[in-house]
């Protein structure tokens, strides 16, 4: 399938319409998760950011819209998604360099670079224990064939001294992430994400620092919706999450 034909893609508004994103109609489609990831990055103008597995560029471009003056780079293995990321960057007038490559065989030039922030939204499911999706693009985004430990190792290697690695992932994979980071990065902060009050977290955002020495920090869970159950079709986001999704507000990550 070659995207670019009107019926193959949709144009979706993010950050209250401040960002317009082309994405495949039937492949992997970005939702709330990359927006929350982008909101959690405490980047400053002049810093460099690398997103591994950038897809159509949603997280990197949300971050670029919130924090002007960043040097943004994305790596994406799927050609069609990488092409859409370039188109999205150009259409939104944001400086995202997109490199089409497999994480495990990064170009030599990129392997020589270090970044203040490395961000990622790795596939949520372990390919060895799941069923492949029917759409190839969606299958790669949700499962892929690169182990989570490799994502973390590659990301850590791209960090500048005292740089930050931040990812969003399913809560059941938290032990796997912590194990992979042991002895590599420190000052680990974990923000669980729960759909509603009294529900167990389903996701988490984790931030770790190169050369970090602060003790482990587990933050109170971020609740995305008000109430204990869905109540009709009305918008029920909590004020903080609503501000993140509509206005590009920051998502504090503690220290």
**CATH number for 176:** 3.40.50.150
1 within a domain of the structure (yes/no): no
Residue 63: phi and psi, rounded to 5, are -65, -45
54 within a domain of the structure (yes/no): yes
85 within a domain of the structure (yes/no): yes
Burial of 51-74, coded b for 16+ CB within 10 Å and e otherwise, reads: bbbbbbbbbbbbbbbbbeebbbbb
pLDDT by residue (tens digit) across 155-171?
999 999 999 999 999 99
73 within a domain of the structure (yes/no): yes
Instruction: Kindly compute the dihedral angle of the four CA atoms of residues 24, 59, 160, 67, in this order, to the nearest 10 degrees.
Output: 140
**What's the domain range around 11?**
6-247
234 within a domain of the structure (yes/no): yes
pLDDT at 10 over 80: yes
Rounded to the nearest angstrom, the gap between the alpha carbon of residue 28 and the centroid of all alpha carbons in its chain is 14
* pTM metric for this prediction: 0.88
254 within a domain of the structure (yes/no): no
175 within a domain of the structure (yes/no): yes
Per-residue pLDDT, 143 = 43
Residues 217 and 252 sit within 8 Å (Cβ to Cβ):
no
23 within a domain of the structure (yes/no): yes
pLDDT by residue (tens digit) across 21-74?
999 988 889 999 999 999 999 999 999 999 999 999 999 999 999 999 999 999
In 92-135, alpha helices (H): 108-111
How deeply is 102 buried, as exposed, middle or buried, from its count of CB atoms within 10 A (0-12, 13-18, 19+)? exposed
Q: Give the C-alpha distances (Å, rounded to integers) separating 198 from 26, 153, 225, 227, 249.
A: 33, 34, 11, 9, 25
Query: How many distinct structural domains can be found in the chain?
Result: 1
Residues 21 and 15 sit within 8 Å (Cβ to Cβ):
no
Residue 157: phi and psi, rounded to 5, are -70, -20
pLDDT by residue (tens digit) across 125-181?
764 554 544 445 444 444 457 999 999 999 999 999 999 999 999 999 999 999 999
Q: Give the C-alpha distances (Å, rounded to integers) separating 8 from 2, 85, 189, 196.
A: 8, 15, 39, 34
């Amino acid at each position: 399938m070659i995207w670019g034909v009107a019926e193959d893609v949709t144009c979706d508004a993010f950050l209250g319409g401040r960002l317009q994103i082309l994405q495949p109609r039937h492949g992997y489609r970005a939702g709330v998760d990359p927006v929350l990831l982008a909101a959690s990055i405490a980047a400053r103008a002049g810093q460099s950011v690398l997103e591994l597995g950038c897809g159509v560029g949603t997280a990197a471009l949300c971050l670029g819209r919130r924090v002007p003056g960043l040097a943004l780079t994305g790596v994406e293995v799927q050609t069609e998604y990488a092409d859409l990321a370039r188109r999205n960057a150009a259409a939104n007038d944001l400086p995202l360099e997109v490199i089409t490559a497999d994480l495990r065989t990064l170009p030599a030039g990129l392997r020589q670079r270090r970044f203040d922030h490395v961000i990622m939204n790795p596939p949520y499911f372990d390919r060895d224990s799941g069923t492949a999706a029917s759409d190839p693009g969606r299958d790669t985004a949700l499962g892929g064939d690169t182990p989570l430990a490799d994502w973390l190792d590659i990301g850590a290697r791209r960090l500048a001294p005292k740089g930050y690695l931040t990812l969003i992932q399913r809560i059941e994979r938290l032990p796997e992430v912590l194990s992979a980071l042991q002895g590599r990065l420190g000052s680990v902060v974990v923000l669980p994400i729960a759909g509603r009050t009294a529900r167990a977290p389903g996701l988490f955002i984790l931030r770790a620092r190169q050369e970090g020495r602060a003790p482990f920090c587990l933050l109170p869970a971020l609740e995305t919706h008000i109430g204990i159950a869905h109540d009709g079709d009305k918008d029920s986001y909590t004020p903080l999450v609503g501000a993140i999704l509509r206005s590009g507000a920051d998502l504090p990550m503690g220290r």
